[in-house]
Every structure is written in C-alpha cells, then in structure tokens.
A and B are shown apart, each in its own frame.
Chain A
C-alpha cells in the first residue's frame, strides 16, 4: 500500500490555472476517484491556493496516471509526492508551512473540511484517517510550540496588533476611517474582527462613504465634520487621495487638549494624510504605511525562522505516522506466519497420532492440542513481537522480508507446483 499525492499550488501554477481545477463538488470527484480499482482511499483538498488529491493505492503507477488525468493539459504545473514524502507534505500543509503566507490559520480549517467530506462520502479509510488526524495534531503542536502564527503579517492586522498595545479592549472604542477605498475596507474588516464595533466613515464623496457604511453597519460623514469626529474617536485610519496632510498637528493638538484618552493614527495613504509632526504629541501615536510595512516584514521574517522549527516537529510526527504504517504493513505477514504455523502444527499432530496407531481419548487429544499450540505460540512470540514493535521503515521492511524468507512465507504451499 502506498500514499500518493498529486496537486498544484501557488508555487507550481498561476491562479488562472489553479482556478480551472478548483473543485466545486468534492463529493462527485471523491466518488469518481474511489470508483477506480487502483485507488483505495481518497481526500480532495481544494482552496484558493492549492488543489491536491491524496490517495492510497496498491498500484502506484496506475493510480499516478489516474490522478494526472485529473489535471489534464497542465501536468507540468503539478507535483507528485509518494510514500513518506506524501505523508510529510500533508503534515506540512496542515501546519501552514507550505502556505503562501506561512502560519496563516485558514488552511487547517479547510483541510478539516476536506477530511470531513471524504469521511462522509466513505472515501476515507484507516490510512488516510490516521494521516489526517496526525496532520491536525501536528498543526496544533506547531501552533503551540512555535511562533509561526504569533505575529500578524498583513498591514491591516499589524495595525490592529499595534492598537492592542494602546487599548486593552476594543468593544468600547470608536474608530474613524477617512476614505472609502479598498485599503479602508480591509482595515475595517480587521478592526471588526478585533471587536471594534463603533465605526465612523468620513469621505470627500459622502455617497461612497454611505455605501461602505451601509455594508459594515457604520455611520457616514463628510470631511467637514472631521474636528468633531476626532474628538470622539480613539483610532483614526486614513487612506484618502489628496495633496498634503489632511490632518495637521495643530488640529490634533486642539483635540488632545480636551481629552485624556490617547489617539492612535494609522495612516496608510500615499501621499500621507496625517502630518508626521502629530507623532511628537504626547497622547498621539502615529504609524504610516512604511512603519507598518517594516513591522510586517520583521514579523514575516520571524515566521520564516519559526517555520524551520516547525519542520522539526513535522519530521518527528511523520516518523511516528510511518511507524504506524510499518506496523500496519506487518499485519498480513504476521497473519500469514501464524496460519502457516497452525497448518504445520495440525498436520504434524495428525501425522503423529496416525503413526501411533492407538485410539486417543478426547481428553488426551485435547491435552496434545494444547501442548502443540503452546509450543507454536512460544516459538512465534518473539518474532511476532519484534515485527509489531519495529517502527523504523527501513529496518521494519528488512525485518518483514527476513521473516518471509526465514519462515518460507513467499514459498508456494507444500504440494503446490511453482508457477
């Protein structure tokens, strides 16, 4: 049995190729895959950054061709992982080491959905179940034991992270967003996720602010209300086109004179919307887009460093999974060994009884059965225990081969002609 994984991701294929193979209906694809004779189990992972088909098979070459047919026309944009590499890849993906943004949390949820779907459609058997459960626990370990997801990397989330250094909670805070563009929308989303509910949106064209405010449950205002708005809010986020700063230091100083609470400015406008002199004021904190980018880059570097530590955890967990797989592969050999020994025991017992030529009572026969069974069990105990306990793949496979040779498990049964 072998695990195979064929797929494409943000590194191997551009988005226009990936979107062609995005799976809208995993149930249909799962049903199609497990209908193939060469495929035993299957899980389909489809996200905006990757499409991957993970299967188990007893006919690797044939299964590979089948999987490649699913990416017909773009085989060059795919990758193949087989055996241990496939298992390691699944663990890396779940741990977000393989993601476009290392440490992003969404992939784990998407993989859980993919696994759930495979289970619901009876496409997932013991091997992939075990592999995906191991992947989820690996992701948890990576999250808890490394700092891979500790620091945000998007500008919007960095801004929220900085705001947390100033404000203990966001529920009772108010934000003013100046502008109504895409960056403002992203920032608004991040602020909302952080718990900030009371939002005012001010824009030159009030109609645009109205539209955004209606979508996010905020209030809309014109720029002429700026002074009054600044006096009541705690966080100010600006991204509006214009020449020269819209908010100057004198204006902020006037506002601060009437309040004790700090005012946090996030200026993502280019050219800048907030006078840099504002940062010199005592109760005001100003971060412009360069400051945020710098923090973001340092956080991304830290994530990359932490990803190295995560690789160690993945290697450990992959080793454990492989040990389980080796033990699983030993099961047919052990079963074969036991049945061969049983056949020998029964045959030899019958032959001995026939040679004795005397009638044996049921009690004596029972005693002889017990004795021969006991001899066989004692002889097999040590080799069977060693086969079960071996978790290293190479040694495990070597031991299985040795057992099959030593006990003649690959030989044709006595009396059967060799083919």
Chain B
C-alpha cells in the first residue's frame, strides 16, 4: 500500500546514492550493491502495485501519480535488464534518484487522493495507460542514455581521464540502448495514442476532442516520429541522436505532465 510505495521510494534513493558513491570512490563492489538495491526496490515497488486495490478508495489506474509510478517501475525494469546484459552497474546512479522522485510524488498523491468523482473502468483506459506509461518509460530511458552519451562524449573530447570500467557504458552501448529504447518506446507510445483515441471514441463518440493533453501528446508523438525517421534514414550521427533523444523526452515530459499542471 502507501507504506510500500514509501519504502520503495526510500530504497530507490538509497540504491541511487550507493551507486553514485561507487562511481565516485570508485569501488565496483559498492556500484554492484547499488544495482542489487535497485532490484530490491523494484520488487517492493511491484508489491506496492499489487496491494493498491486494498486502498479505500482504490486509486484509478489513470491517476497521474499511478502513471508516473508505473512508468518509473517499467523504466527501472528496462535499466535492470540492460545492467544485467551489459554488466554496467553505474546506471543505477541515474535511474535510482529519478525513480525515487516519481514514486515519492506518487506516494504523496496517493495519500491526498479522495474517492474519484467518476471512477474509470474498462479495457481502453487500462490499455491506454499501460501502453503510454511503458512508452514513456522507454523514451525516458532513451533520454537518459542520451544524457550519458553527451556526458561521456564531452569527457572524451575534454581528454579527461576515462571513467572506471563497469561504471558507465561505452558510447557504442549507449547508442545501442538509445536505438532500442526509442524504437520500442515510440511503438508503445503510438499504441498508447491509438488506444487513447479509442477510449475517447467509446466515451464521447469522437476520436479527437481537441483537449490540451491530446493536442500536446500528438505533437510530442509527431516529434518522436520525425526523430525516428531521421535516425533510421541514417541522417544523424550518434551524438545528434543522443541530443535528440534527450530533447524529445524533455518535450514529452512537458506534454504529459507540464501541460496538465499549467492548464
């Protein structure tokens, strides 16, 4: 329940700090400890989701806090898989604090949430939220990989001493992560947009209502579509792709969260 969300948030933060210490000291054993901490946090986080329905009232899946929390969880799972595959544990230093923020905000929101005025149920809303959250998570991971790429690129150009092995991925690995995450993430986001339209149609009888959330999300989707096209047409170098992934995700965050807060 909410306590489990709070525990998961604390574990994410501890894993992130542990991993960061591992990078700074530098001690690969501490970095590995951070990665294990991240895994434990993801388990607790999963348990928190599993027990959400026991809350009275149970928060709807479409709640922004739940979406954020779910996106963070999916991103953590994806990064854990990458860390396992590439044996690079330093990634926990980046994803840990991000997941902490998302889950911490979600826990605060859950405490303040009252009974929803119009409880939402049905296949389309659930499919929309799950697909969009997964797409958001993967595109977030692509943005994170992009940020790391730019950081590492800058280090190499500035002739700074290389980072420890097993601290950060190589540029090649980051570019590959970027490519996979953006391909799968864009596909999921597209499906999220489509199921959102289907939900709209089932509720209001129209595919397009012209609301600010829909408009900005479609703009974000179009931008990502452009990025994917440019990337796979071979017109972009790795550094430009990294910068695009980061900028694209910042825009997506604005479209998904910022617009909602602003309007």
Contacts and interface: CB of A to CB of B under 8 A. Distances in A.
A168 B152 CA distance: 13
Interface stretch (A204-212, A287-295, A366-374, A386-394): A287-295
Interface string A328-344: 00000000000000000
Contacts of A168: 86, 169-170, 172-173, 176
Interface in B205-263: 234, 236-240
Interface string B154-176: 01110101111100011111001
B26 interface: yes
Contact of A262 (B155, B161, B163, B171): B171
Interface in A293-328: 294-295, 298-299
B221 to A, nearest CB: 25
A161 interface: yes
Interface string B13-26: 00000000000001
A169 B172 CA distance: 9
A282 B240 contact: yes
Interface in B1-59: 26
A295 B161 contact: yes
Contact of B159 (A150, A166, A291): A291
Nearest to B169: A168
B26 A147 contact: yes
Nearest to A298: B161
Contact of A283 (B162, B165, B234, B238): B238
A287 B240 contact: no
Contacts of B170: 164-168
B238 A262 contact: yes
A162 B161 CA distance: 8
A285 B172 contact: no
Contacts of A169: 172
Contacts of B156: 162, 165-166, 285
Interface in B160-206: 161-165, 169-173, 176
A185 interface: no
Contact of B172 (A147, A166, A295, A299): A166
B237 A165 contact: no
B237 A283 contact: yes
A260 interface: yes
Given A279-B157, A291-B159, A295-B162, A165 B238 contact: no
A291 B156 CA distance: 11
A214 B215 CA distance: 65
Contacts of A151: 161
A162 B162 contact: yes
B169 A161 contact: no
Contacts of B165: 161, 164
Most central of B159, B169, B238 by chain A CB within 10 Å: B159
A260 B173 CA distance: 14
A241 B108 CA distance: 67
B240 to A, nearest CB: 7
Interface string A243-258: 0000000000000100
Nearest to B172: A168
A149 B239 CA distance: 32
A299 B172 CA distance: 24
A151 B236 CA distance: 34
B162 A285 contact: no
A166 B170 CA distance: 5
Which of A260, A287, A295 has its CB near the most chain B CB atoms (within 10 A)? A260
B161 A287 contact: no
Interface in A140-176: 147, 150-151, 161-162, 164-169
A150 B166 CA distance: 12
Contacts of B26: 147, 150
Given A165-B152, A165-B156, A299 B176 contact: no
Nearest to B171: A166
Interface string A14-32: 0000000000000000000
B152 A150 contact: no
A154 to B, nearest CB: 15
Nearest to A280: B157
Nearest to B160: A295
Most chain B CB within 10 A, of A169, A282, A294, A298, is at A282
Contact of A165 (B163, B234, B236, B240): B163
Given A279-B157, A295-B161, A298-B161, A167 B172 contact: yes
Contacts of A298: 161
B118 to A, nearest CB: 49
A233 to B, nearest CB: 15
A280 to B, nearest CB: 9
A279 B234 CA distance: 22
A164 B163 CA distance: 10
Nearest to B173: A168
A238 B81 CA distance: 39
A150 B164 contact: yes
Nearest to B27: A147
Contacts of A167: 170-172
B153 to A, nearest CB: 8
Given A165-B152, A167-B170, A168-B169, A282 B237 contact: yes
Contacts of B237: 256, 260, 282-283
Nearest to B159: A291
Contact of A299 (B157, B161, B239, B240): B161
Given A164-B165, A262-B171, A262-B172, 9 more contacts: A161-B162, A162-B162, A164-B170, A165-B155, A165-B156, A165-B163, A168-B169, A168-B176, A260-B238
17 contacts: A150-B164, A161-B162, A162-B156, A165-B152, A165-B156, A165-B170, A166-B172, A167-B170, A167-B171, A167-B172, A168-B86, A168-B176, A260-B237, A260-B238, A262-B171, A262-B172, A282-B240
Pairs A-B, 4 closest by C-beta atoms: A168-B173, A168-B172, A168-B170, A165-B162
